Structure 1
Amino acid sequence: MKRTLIRYKTKPEMADRNAELIAAVFEELKAAAPAGVRYLTLRLDDDTFVHFVETEASDGSSALPKLAAFKAFQSGIAERCAEPPLFRDVTIVGNYRMLGEPSAMNS
């Protein structure tokens, strides 16, 4: 299992558009229901976005980049950002009813 946290800040005038593109990704995820991927996005009050992606594949591969809406979201991301995306592998230290079953968090 691979877990990744991505953080970036959008330009103020691009934050709403970025959120719209992300919403489209979630709509496609709901429709396609790909197995082995969990995804969460947060928007902070300063137009910073935080994405948490969890993939079950040991090699970290994911169905997410194959979605048309995700490709549309990635297109132009550099132009929407005031601070570029930073990618970090993460380990869950604690989880209380936020990310699914505790047994899945132990791997």
Structure 2
Amino acid sequence: MKRTLIRYKTKPELADKNAELVAAVFAELKVAQPDDVRYMTLRLEDDTFIHFVESADDGSSPLPKLAAFQAFQSGIRERCVEPPMPRGAIIVGNYRMLGEP
């Protein structure tokens, strides 16, 4: 599995809108139930968002095909004061938070 962590900070007045767009992605995932992706998003108290994605080794993912994800991606840079910064990630430790790697 390929693991990616994406971090960005939204403008305070657009943080709730961003959270709504993210929630719509999870609602669509719940309906579609794709097997080849794992996805988690955190919102910190300073309106920083952290997304953690596990996808196929080749990086392919069903996320970009989802209408809600496309809506979320549209205008993301305009909602941010710090743009999205994707980074590869390696799980060093995991106690009952995520499924076993």
* TM-score interval for Structure 1 and Structure 2 normalised by the shorter chain: over 0.9
Q: Does 1:21 align with 2:21?
A: yes
CA distance in 2, matches of 1:96, 1:72: 33
Query: 1:47 Cα deviation (Å)?
Result: 0.3
Identity, % of aligned pairs?
A: 76
What is the identity, as a one-letter code, of the residue corresponding to 2:69?
F
Gaps of 5+ in 1: none
Gaps of 5+ in 2: none
Tell me the SS of whatever aligns to 2:72: helix
CA distance in 1, matches of 2:97, 2:38: 12
Q: 2:52 maps to what in 1?
A: 52
Cα deviation code 1:37-88 (max 9, x no counterpart):
0000000000000000001x22010001110000000000011001001010
- TM-align CA RMSD: 0.6
Question: What is the TM-score when the length of structure 2 is the normalising length?
Answer: 0.98
Q: Following superposition, which runs of at least 4 residues in structure 1 exceed 4 angstroms of deviation?
A: none
CA distance in 1, matches of 2:24, 2:51: 15
What is the identity, as a one-letter code, of the residue corresponding to 2:64?
P
Question: What is the TM-score when the length of structure 1 is the normalising length?
Answer: 0.93
CA distance in 2, matches of 1:65, 1:52: 15
